[in-house]
Amino acid sequence: MVKLHDLYFKPFVSEQELDAVVQRMADAIAKDLGDEVPVFVGILNGSFMLVSDFVKKYPKPCEVTFIKLASYEGVKSTEDIQRLIGLTQDLTDRTVVILEDIIDSGNTLEEVHRIFKNENVKQLLIATLFYKPEAYAKDFKLHYVGLEIPNKFIVGYGLDYDGLGRDLPAVYQLKTTQHMTNIVLFGPPGAGKGTQA
Ligand code: 5GP
Ligand code: MG
Ligand code: MG
C-alpha cells in the first residue's frame, strides 16, 4: 500500500503487466503503420513515463515530441484545460499518434483535437494506456487502448495525486474504505445522502 498526502492507494497494475501492455501497444501501432514514420506526441506531464518506455519498445524509426496540457485538480477532472506548452514543429502531412496516460472524461482529448484541427496532418491517431469507459463523455475514436479500467482514481507510472506518485514504477488505485467513502464521496456521515453499493 502507498500513502500520498492524505490518501491510501493499493497495488493495481504491476511493472510486469505495464511492460507487457506497452509492448502490445507498440507492436500493434508499428504493424498498422507499415513504412510510415510517425510522430508520437506525448501529453505532459502524465505521459512522460509511458512515452519513454513506449518509444524504446517501438520497433521502427519514429519521432517524439510533447505538448503540455493540464486539467486535473486533486482527484477530479475539470473542464478547464490549460495549454502550457504547445506544438513547436510543423506536422503537415505527418501521421501523428497521441500518447496519453489516461482518458477519463475526454475533455483533454477534445482539446487535443482542437489543437490539431488546423495542423493539416495526414492522420491523427489516439493511443492511451488507460481508459475509463464509464467516465468518457465524448465521441472521439480511441484507436489504441492499453487497459480499460473502472472509474476509480489511480496513481503511478506518470500519474499523480497533487504532485506525488508520478515516480512510482507501478500503478496504484485509490483505496476507499467505509470511512473514506463516507467522507470523500458522500460528504460527512449523517448527511443522509447515498449508501455504499
Ligand atoms: P480527462 O480530460 O479525460 O478527464 O482526463 C485526462 C487527464 O486527467 C489525464 O491525462 C490525467 O492527467 C488526468 N487523469 C484522469 N484520470 C486520472 C486518474 O485516475 N488518476 C490521475 N492521477 N490522473 C488522472
Ligand atoms: Mg494525460
Ligand atoms: Mg495530474
Q: Which domains does the chain have, with CATH numbers?
A: 14-153 (3.40.50.2020)
- pLDDT at position 45: 93
- pLDDT at position 73: 66
pLDDT, one tens digit per residue, over 52-77 is: 999 999 999 999 999 998 776 666 76
Q: Is residue 196 within 8 Å of 178, Cβ to Cβ?
A: yes
Q: Could you tell me if the CB of 46 is within 6 A of ligand 1?
A: yes
Q: Could you tell me if the CB of 168 is within 6 A of ligand 1?
A: no
- pLDDT of residue 182 exceeding 80, the answer is no
Residues in the chain: 197
Determine how many CB atoms are found less than 10 A away from the CB of residue 187. Answer: 12
167 is catalytic: no
Q: At a CB cut-off of 8 Å and minimum separation 6, what does 179 contact?
A: none
Q: Give this prediction's pTM.
A: 0.88
Instruction: Locate 58 and state its grid cell.
Output: 517501438
**Of all protein residues, whose CA lies closest to atom 15 belonging to ligand 1?**
104
Give the ligand at the shortest distance from the Cα of 66. 2
- pLDDT of residue 193 exceeding 50, the answer is no
Q: Is residue 71 within 8 Å of 106, Cβ to Cβ?
A: no
